[in-house]
Structure 1
Amino acid sequence: MAPFLRILGIETSCDETAAAVVARHDDGRGEILSDVVFSQLEEHSAYGGVVPEIAARAHVEAVDGLIDEALARANLSLSDIDAIAATSGPGLIGGLLVGLMTAKAMSLATGKPLYAINHLEGHALTARLTDGLSFPYLMLLVSGGHTQLILVKGVGEYERWGTTIDDALGEAFDKTAKLLGLPYPGGPAVEKAALSGNPDRFVLPRPLVGEARLDFSFSGLKTAVRQAATEIAPLSDQDVADICASFQKAISRTLKDRIGRGLARFKAEYGGVENPALVVAGGVAANQEIRRTLQALCTEHRFNFIAPPMNLCTDNASMIAWAGLERMAKDVSPDTLEVAPRSRWPLDTEAQTLLGSGKRGAKA
């Protein structure tokens, strides 16, 4: 069956430049026709984190070639595309400008409709592309910039149940790795070191465990890691491994409590949902210890555990294209060329601001 809609997606919100072509068939099934990602990891690793100016320049250099490659891999020309979707926020403003302005130019030149997509909505809807999941469901987004538990009720309908009140989980991994002299990105480095460590050597705090609210906090845990490392300095390789293993254990125990309460709330409020599901997305979802914890939790609460393939958990353009297709299928009007990028753009605009706000909007 030929797809009735095909859309080009562009993602430039952080340090990956990505382009993809995704189709939606008449039965609602999604199909990724091409997915291309250029990673800037080497450009930023020397600095221990993403440098916004370097990221923006790299996007400028890469985006046109990636779009051409995505179309070529899909065996399509731009005239075959029904619409163009680009990440419009949240993210680094320089990168967002590159992708969104490219999409605007293409839309103006071809007359194709333009969809400015919330990056977080792309993550929230990916499980519908990969698993055909029905609404409503819970999503845990764990990445370098976000840690949120979100009720996904429908396209454009999101309710934030929990968020971090300080550091995001990915940020905590990166800062812990830097403190211990491990390379960037910190998540994979900490996980690798933890494999040979003793998770019971250091007793680290589990922030907010036991509280009824579903928010997260990782700043105190990061501080406890610094204190533990300082007390036994200089650190041997085994010391580093033990700290990493203890850090991961504290994270897993924290998530078990926080997400367990979220699953219980979902059951209480949406008991009629036949196959309740927890979706996990974001780069930290690659951590196997965290995955095992969440899988066991879902088994205990009788939830389906859905983790899209890793290339669709991290930043990618397929999820941006799919979010555009979901909007088209719902007859949401396309965006005008006046749409502006937003460095801050919470999915749930009605949620209470926890970290302050300013001209750019709420932080979280």
Structure 2
Amino acid sequence: MKNNISSNAYKLIKRKKYKKAKNYLLNNTSKLNHNAEALSMLAFANIFLKDFSAAEEVSRKALREDSFCINATLAKGYISLYNGHRENALREYFRILDLSPDNKIASDNIERIRFLTNNAKGNEIKPRPYLLGKKEFSILKFLIIIPIVFILSLGSYLIIDRVYPMIKYVLLDREQKELREKLENVYLFEGLEEGKIPESAKSPTYSPREVAEMFDKAKKNMRSASVNEAVMIINGALESDINDYLKERFRVLKNFVIAPDYNIFKESPNYLTVVKNYNLYEGGFIKWKADVSGISKTNIDGIPKNKARLLIYDNNGKEIVGVADLIYSQNISLETKSHIEVYAKILGYDNLSRAVLLDTQIIKHLPNKK
């Protein structure tokens, strides 16, 4: 920015002094008029102050003064995005790249729009990165932060190493990281990642937006390791009256479900809850205490396995509330009358034997009950 008024306003905006920046510009009316950059800064300030009608008017005025003003185009693009017009916003950002191919803010904004969820609302889209770009790296701030980070890191390490030694490796869980990266590219409507929701997505029960919200909520829960809640949303969608294409997209999403870490998994439903809602919990995970009452052989997809009949305890570990059949590998040692804690995936429910079907993740041997 070549002129002082726009440069000074920009500095105030960077420091989050939006009201002060607006007043500064309005108090310099003689310099503001016919100054595209200064008008752009006024549009920026209005956007941060959530006065979007004023911001739109000022950005248009700035572009009338200089149709090649990049900051005015950034403001216009964000206003379109806020109002739900993603295609218009993309058009403005591509126009900036035509004028300035190396413009990092515009290219980053195009990527940000690509990864917006289908139902993202305007007030959920923060304007700062879209107008000012990523935060610039400051050597001075970095030097100040180094000792603080060191102290916090040392404290965190001591807590993890001494208080929670069993969950230390979870923080570097490669599988979870890869899952989150892949999830970003899973959409409910393939080819419509920019957020359009076709009317064909409606069903007798759900509107297209409600279906999109279910899908996005399931994704969000999977990213935050709330796997059982995600599984219940997906299974609910599969049992609903949405069309076959949408059901297939939910099945694809379910393929990305992986077991939460045993050491921090605390969302286990109790046995009776699973029995009452086994269709919703299929593919979810449990952690139950049980006694082994019998062991037999079985075959799963041509692979020899063992099957243990379990007597499942209530949450207090006192009363037996039901039975489950646990599938486990032949290289795992398990004996009858063993008292265990089992962490497993729910495969379904056998109505004939009235047993929950489980696939072993981890078996922890506990002292036998007296």
Give TM-score, length-normalised by structure 2: 0.24
* Structure with more helix by fraction: 2
